[in-house]
């Protein structure tokens, strides 16, 4: 087996005391000493995550817009200005999710876009990009010269702008799901995977370690994969390969809002089986589960309801709530309670609408 790849921040992780593990073929920090402290920094202050294992692809071509309208379940016609971002699924021919990704509009002419997609799926993503792209004459340029750092939390933008005051006007003008090109291959977007405010910064790889250390110097906490996972679960955000995959429809994974069927003339990959499933009625739904007694909910545990069984797709102990939470797929008729098989014992759980936590606040009574 080949050695895991490293990101341009690798030395910074080591210098900060990161405990490095193999994640989807990449050596990345699981934590820097305390996952709980890292989680709480993002909920109350500012933390940063290396997300350079994700694939940045720049797309150009006269038919780039048409290609994306064929490739993606959401419609890039919604990208009404340069820098606007769109979250979407990319489906296979059966309507299952190949990947979830973000696409940015990069020019006025709608002939240039940027896609950010997942690390674990980069090979099959690129194969699908190329396969569907062949008929549209587009050029796909993977940006291996760039890296990416998520700076997240209620004080993230303030701390970033302590370092980069010259960015203040442009960055403060960003609304969620908007990005801005700041020149010299620096790009800042108001996006994230934590349920907090913040940005994701794409930058030239030769600036990686310096930028990381500068952010540390203004009090941004380095955060690892462990905190990233508890934060995204509290925020009710899917993780590819767990909460959805090639055999899961977006309609079964809480992603119906990312499917755009308004333009009936637009035919995208996976549309026919998706519409057929919608018409026949989806028999499962995605929910949150809260365990109010001791124990931890884990992926793969069976959920028992009066309407049949479901399954936990992600589970953890929530540092913010001090209780165990899970994302689960259950029969569509499930109401506000269920049971989970925890080591052979059926244990009562509350069934909640996601998310559990957003902007530092509990989202349920």
Tell me the pLDDT tens digit for each residue of 21-41.
Answer: 999 899 999 999 999 999 999
pLDDT value of residue 2: 80
Binding residues for substrate are: 200
pLDDT category of residue 360 using cuts at 50, 70 and 90: very high
pLDDT category of residue 1 using cuts at 50, 70 and 90: low
Looking at the chain, the domain(s) classified CATH 3.30.1360.120 span 47-208+237-279
Binding residues are: 200
Looking at the chain, the domain(s) classified CATH 2.40.30.110 span 283-362
Mean of pLDDT values over 174-183: 98
Instruction: Note the CATH architecture for domain 283-362.
Output: Beta Barrel (2.40)
pLDDT value of residue 254: 98
Torsion angles phi and psi, residue 4, rounded to 5: -65, 150
pLDDT value of residue 17: 98
Mean of pLDDT values over 138-167: 98
Q: How many other C-beta atoms are found inside a 10 Å radius of the C-beta of residue 336? A: 9
Q: How many other C-beta atoms are found inside a 10 Å radius of the C-beta of residue 279? A: 7
- Whether 199 and 156 have beta carbons less than 8 Å apart is answered as yes
Mean of pLDDT values over 132-148: 97
Could you report the per-residue pLDDT of 276-307, keeping only the tens digit for each?
Answer: 999 999 999 999 999 999 999 999 999 999 99
Please give the share of the chain, as a percent, with pLDDT higher than 70: 100
Could you report the per-residue pLDDT of 57-87, keeping only the tens digit for each?
Answer: 999 999 999 999 999 999 999 999 999 999 9
Domain covering 47-208+237-279 assigned CATH 3.40.50.2000 in the classification: no
pLDDT category of residue 319 using cuts at 50, 70 and 90: very high
Two tokens at 284?
């499962």
Least confident stretch, 1-5, 112-116, 159-163: 1-5
pLDDT value of residue 322: 97
Closest CA relative to residue 307, chosen from 274, 344, 351, 342: 351
């Amino acid at each position: 087996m080949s050695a895991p790849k490293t990101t341009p921040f690798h030395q910074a992780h080591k210098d900060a005391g990161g405990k490095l593990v193999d994640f989807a073929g990449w050596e990345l920090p699981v934590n820097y000493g305390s996952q709980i402290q890292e989680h709480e920094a993002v909920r109350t202050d500012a933390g940063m995550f290396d997300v350079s294992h994700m694939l940045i692809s720049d797309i150009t071509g006269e038919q780039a817009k048409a290609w994306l309208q064929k490739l993606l379940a959401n419609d890039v016609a919604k990208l009404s200005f340069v820098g606007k971002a769109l979250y979407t699924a990319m489906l296979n021919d059966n309507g299952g999710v190949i990947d979830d990704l973000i696409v940015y509009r990069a020019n006025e002419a709608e002939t240039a876009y940027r896609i950010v997609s997942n690390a674990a799926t980069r090979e099959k993503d690129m194969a699908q990009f190329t396969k569907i792209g062949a008929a549209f004459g587009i050029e796909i340029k993977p940006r291996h010269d760039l890296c990416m750092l998520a700076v997240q939390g209620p004080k993230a933008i303030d701390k970033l702008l302590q370092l980069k005051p010259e960015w203040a006007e442009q960055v403060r003008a960003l609304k969620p799901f908007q990005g801005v090109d700041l020149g010299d291959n620096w790009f800042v977007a108001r996006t994230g995977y934590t349920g907090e405010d913040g940005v994701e910064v794409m930058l030239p790889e030769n600036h990686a370690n310096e930028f990381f250390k500068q952010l540390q110097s203004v009090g941004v906490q380095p955060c690892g994969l462990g905190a990233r996972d508890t934060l995204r679960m509290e925020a009710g955000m899917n993780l590819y390969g767990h909460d959805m995959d090639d055999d899961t429809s977006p309609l079964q994974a809480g992603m119906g809002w990312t499917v755009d069927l308004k333009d009936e003339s637009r035919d995208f990959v996976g549309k026919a089986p998706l519409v057929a499933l919608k018409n026949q009625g989806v028999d499962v739904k995605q929910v949150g589960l809260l365990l109010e007694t001791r124990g931890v909910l884990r992926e793969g545990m069976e959920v028992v309801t009066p309407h049949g069984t479901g399954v936990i797709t992600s589970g953890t102990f929530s540092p913010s709530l001090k209780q165990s939470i899970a994302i689960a797929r259950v029969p569509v008729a499930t109401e506000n309670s269920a049971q989970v098989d925890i080591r052979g014992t059926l244990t009562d759980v509350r069934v909640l609408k996601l998310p559990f936590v957003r902007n530092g606040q509990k989202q349920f009574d």
